[in-house]
Amino acid sequence: MTDGIHLGGEQTKVLENIENSVFDNKFVLEEKRKLLKAFSDIAILDELTKRRALNASDIIVFFHKNYDIRMSPGTLYSILYKLERRGSIKVISDKKTRLYVLADSGRTALDSLQARLEEIQSIIISLLNNLNILKRPSIGDTFINFPYSNCGKGPLIE
Question: pTM to 2 decimals?
Answer: 0.65
4, 19, 115, 126 from 118: Cα distances, Å: 56, 37, 8, 12
User: What pLDDT is recorded for position 11?
Assistant: 54
Tens of pLDDT, residues 2-34: 444 444 556 555 555 555 555 567 777 777 778
Inter-CA distances, 99 with 74, 80, 81, 85, 95, Å: 17, 11, 13, 15, 11
Given a contact cutoff of 8 angstroms between Cβ atoms, the answer to whether 99 and 55 are in contact is: yes
Q: What is the pLDDT of residue 130?
A: 78
Question: Cβ atoms within 10 A of the Cβ of 63, count?
Answer: 20
Write down the number of H helices and E strands in the chain: 6, 2
Q: Are the beta carbons of 48 and 89 closer than 8 angstroms?
A: yes
Q: Are 91 and 99 within 8 A, CB to CB?
A: yes
36 touches 69 (CB < 8 A): yes
